[in-house]
Every structure is written in C-alpha cells, then in structure tokens.
Chains A and B, each alone.
Chain A
Amino acid sequence: MIESLDPGTLYPFGGAALFALGLHGLIRRRHLILRILAVNIMGSGVFMVFLGIAARGDAPPDPVAQALTLTGIVVAVSATAFALALTVHLARLTGHAVLLPGPLRTHRGNRPEDP
C-alpha cells in the first residue's frame, strides 16, 4: 500500500480536494478578494493534478505536463491581476467590493429606473 502511494499518486487527490475547496469558497464567499483567492486555489488544485500526473510512475517526470503547468500559472496570474484591477474599479464606483447576490444565484439586472 505504501509503495503504491508515491507522490504522483497521492498529490492528485490533494489537487482534487483543493479544487473542491476553492469551488466551495467561490460559491459561499461574497467579497471579491476572497472569490479571486478561491479561483486561484482552484487553479492550484488543477496544477497539482497536472504535476501529479507528470510525476506518476518510475519514469523521469513528464516535461510536457510541467510546461503546461508553468503556462497555467502565468495565465492564472494574468487573470488574477486583471480581476484585481476590475475589483478596484468596481469599488471606486460603488464604494464596496462585494457582489451581492452572487453570480451563481439571482441577480438584479432590470431596475426600471435605469437610464
């Protein structure tokens, strides 16, 4: 049992747990900073699955999966940077950085008084 649990097998399970944990945070939290952190944690979970797959077995680690992860990290930081800029922009307009109610529930899109 212990031999079969090399890091490459163990870590993807952790990645799956991180993904689900991030999703939970994204659904449950309202503050945009926390939601952005939640998305990043989900991303880390995916990267952990990729790197775990790369390290499975006895062969040398798979450079393709590692390169994909590197690309993924850079894409994630770009998206995060933009999301943070948008958060600040929203806070300047509304005075807070909370989306109420969340995009995964209902929304208020049609206020009749809108110009």
Chain B
Amino acid sequence: MNAALLAFDVVLLAGLLGVAWRCLASTDLFRAVVLFITFGLLLAIAWVRLEAPDIALAEAAIGAGITGALLLVTLERLKHIMNPHRGDAGPSPPPDPVASDTGNADAEARDARDPGAGNVALSCAPTPARGRWSAVAVSGGLALLLMATLATQDHGPGLQPAVAAHMDVSGVDHGITAVLLNFRAWDTLLELAMVLLAGLGAWSLGRHDALPARPAPGPVLPGAVRLLLPVAIVTGVYLLWAGSHAPGGAFQAGAVLGAAGILMSLARPHSLPDPDPRLLRIGVTAGALLFLALGLWGLFAGPALLTWPRNLAYPLILIIETGATLSIALTLVALFVGGRSPREDA
C-alpha cells in the first residue's frame, strides 16, 4: 500500500512538472492557459495528499477557478486589442470581453470566413535558442541546491503543538481558521488589504467598458445559471459557516460567490445596471474596515490590536468572515469585469 501511494505521489509530481513544462513551453497562449488550469487542479490533488483539504479547496476555487477565469478573459481582451475590426476608420471599438463570446454579426461573419484570425493574437514566438543552456544551468543549479538544503532538514513538529494547546480559547474548532482569524489575524487582515489593493490597482488603470446589451446566448447558459446561482450562494454560505469546524472559510466562500457573480455576468441577457461607484467602493473595502474596526477594541482595552475577548471570539470571527467573504466576492467580480466604473469619473 505504501509503495502504491509512493508510486502515485511520484506519478503526480511527474505529471505536475510535465504539465508545468508544457504550459510554459507552449507557443499557443490558449493552450498554455488551459494547461495552467489543469496544473491547478492537479495541485489540488497534491494538497489532498499532503493532508491539506482546506488548501485543496482554495486551490481549486481560487488558484484554478478564479485565476483561470481571469486568464481566459484576459486572452479574450488581448484578442480584441490585437484584431481591431478591419475597415473601421477610427480606433477599434471598445472590447467587451464579457460579450465577446458571441460578438457582433460582422465579427462573427469574418471569424467564420477566417478561422485563424482570432488565434494569431493568441500565439507567441517560440523561445529563442540563444542562452538556452545558461538558463537551464541557473534554474537547474538552483533546484539542486534547494533539494540539497531540504535534504538536510529533519522533521520538526512546527507550530502544531502550540496551536493545539491554544485551540480551546480560539473560539473555533478548526485549526486553520483559528490560525487565520485569531492567532495570525494580522496576516489575514493584510491579505484582505492585498485583495482590495489588486482591485484598486486595476481600477486605477482605466475604466471598464460600458456593459452593453447583447443578444441572448441561447437558453442553456442562462437556464443553467438560474439553476446554479442559488446552489452557489448556499454553497458559499455553507463554506463560510463550516469554516469554524471543518475545511472551508471566508476565502473559499468568497471565491465561490465570486464565481457565481462571474457566471451571472457571463449569462446576462440584457444590460446590467452599473452599480453606484460609491456603494461599490464601500463594498470592496467593508470587509477589511470591519476587521480593523473590531480589532481596534483590543488596542484600547488591551492587550493588543486584534484581540478577541474569549467569550465573544466565535461571533466576532463569524462577523468578520462574513464581511470578508462579501468584499472578496465583490472584488473578484470587479477584477473580472475590468476597470473602474465610468460613473466614478463623472
């Protein structure tokens, strides 16, 4: 059994390395992105083998799912930028990545005539041969040094005993949630700030294009979304709640809700109302602001920032996680849609 598992591990690692290699060596960007998503899903299996179901969940939802969606929509945007509609006099019409899977009739007709038109933008030059061996030497040498270093390390228990000893006062029954929202809550707060900052950064680069009405993409997708949306919301809330005693938590829940939002924006049959930018700004910041505001209590009452009173730890953690989930989901959808709302500049 042990040998079989070892064989599985070796095959999995070889598969991961092979997929990563094929992904980075690809000259077709679409293929590279699909391989990267595959890589993320294989990683999730590896995390299960390393007894980390929480991370596997997060990897599948965030690492493969959300990153994959962002990568695909980026490819779609690049395609529109590099293939401006021929015959148009002015600058190319604003690409609407969300609507691009149906496009307008002209584009469709042209694409049908010239099947390769879209793919030219998504290919890239192969790696030049010059400097191949020095790069191999650098990275190979680094890998060998790293492995040699890792081979010298012995098996320490890490901080597991310390966490186990303090679980009863953490307010939750799940080790990772206790670390994320109590023992190392500062990391988590800064991580929320990082998600927010990515959104702010993307907004600072420019406006997103107006969300236009578009022809209905057939009955299947909207129907499926209508079916899946409630399920996704229930799943998100379940993950949020389960985080206190089992794998799950704010980030996984936020990713699921964000994915639901992305699906909704893909399936929208008519133009969506552009949300009020003020509400949007407050929405994406609310999670971190709430976290910090509750944490200030500890600063004044002692002993330090982000201290939860013992008997209130569980409700406080749940409130914070709820705020974080909503802000994360909102930011992820905003990142998918692209730049800031044009109404913000009005």
**Per the CB under 8 Å rule, do A and B touch in the complex?**
yes
What residue of chain B has the Cβ atom nearest to residue A75's Cβ? B194
Q: Which residues of the partner chain B approach A86 to less than 8 Å between Cβ atoms? A: 201, 205
Contact with B along A48-92 (1 / 0, CB 8 A): 110111111101111111111111011111111110111111011
A23 lies within 8 A of B139 (CB): yes
Bound-complex Cα distance A26 to B66 (A):
22
B143 lies within 8 A of A16 (CB): yes
A8 lies within 8 A of B50 (CB): yes
A56 lies within 8 A of B156 (CB): yes
Decide if B242 is an interface residue (CB 8 Å cutoff).
no
Bound-complex Cα distance A44 to B269 (A):
37
Decide if B238 is an interface residue (CB 8 Å cutoff).
no
Bound-complex Cα distance A28 to B139 (A):
11
Decide if B47 is an interface residue (CB 8 Å cutoff).
yes
Q: Are A71 and B188 also in contact (CB < 8 A) when A30-B125, A85-B202 are?
A: yes
Q: Are A69 and B49 also in contact (CB < 8 A) when A63-B175, A88-B77 are?
A: no
How far in angstroms is the closest Cβ of chain B from A62?
Answer: 4
Decide if B71 is an interface residue (CB 8 Å cutoff).
yes
Q: Are A34 and B29 also in contact (CB < 8 A) when A18-B17, A20-B142, A81-B198 are?
A: yes
CB contact between A37 and one of B33, B138, B139, B183 (< 8 Å): that residue: B33
Q: How large is the interface on B (under 10, 10 to 19, 20 to 34, 35 or more residues)?
A: 35 or more
Decide if B338 is an interface residue (CB 8 Å cutoff).
yes
Q: Which residues of the partner chain A approach B160 to less than 8 Å between Cβ atoms? A: 59-64
Q: Are A82 and B24 also in contact (CB < 8 A) when A73-B63, A92-B81 are?
A: no
Contact with A along B260-279 (1 / 0, CB 8 A): 00000000000000000000
A37 lies within 8 A of B36 (CB): yes
Q: Which residues of the partner chain A approach B136 to less than 8 Å between Cβ atoms? A: 24
CB contact between B66 and one of A2, A23, A77, A91 (< 8 Å): that residue: A77
Q: Are A97 and B78 also in contact (CB < 8 A) when A16-B146, A57-B157 are?
A: yes
Query: In this complex, which of A13, A18, A51, A63 has the most chain B Cβ atoms within 10 angstroms of its Cβ?
Result: A63
B155 lies within 8 A of A56 (CB): yes
Q: Which residues of the partner chain A approach B50 to less than 8 Å between Cβ atoms? A: 7-8, 11, 48, 51-52, 54-55, 61
How far in angstroms is the closest Cβ of chain A from B314?
Answer: 17
Q: Are A14 and B127 also in contact (CB < 8 A) when A24-B136, A64-B159, A91-B78 are?
A: no
CB contact between A55 and one of B51, B140, B162 (< 8 Å): that residue: B51
Bound-complex Cα distance A55 to B164 (A):
15
B176 lies within 8 A of A66 (CB): yes
Chain A to chain B contacts (Cβ below 8 Å), 10 pairs: A16-B150, A17-B17, A48-B46, A54-B158, A70-B55, A70-B176, A73-B59, A73-B62, A87-B74, A88-B338
Please give 4 more A-B residue pairs, beta carbons under 8 A apart, in addition to A19-B142, A24-B138, A76-B63. Answer: A27-B135, A41-B23, A63-B176, A85-B201
* Chain B residues at the A interface, C-beta cutoff of 8 Å: 2-3, 5-6, 9-10, 13, 16-17, 20-21, 23-26, 29, 32-33, 36, 39, 43, 46-47, 49-52, 54-55, 58-59, 62-63, 66-67, 70-71, 74-75, 77-78, 81-82, 124-125, 127, 131-132, 135-136, 138-140, 142-143, 146-147, 150, 155-164, 175-176, 178-180, 183-184, 187-188, 191, 194-195, 197-199, 201-202, 205-206, 249, 251, 332, 335, 338-339
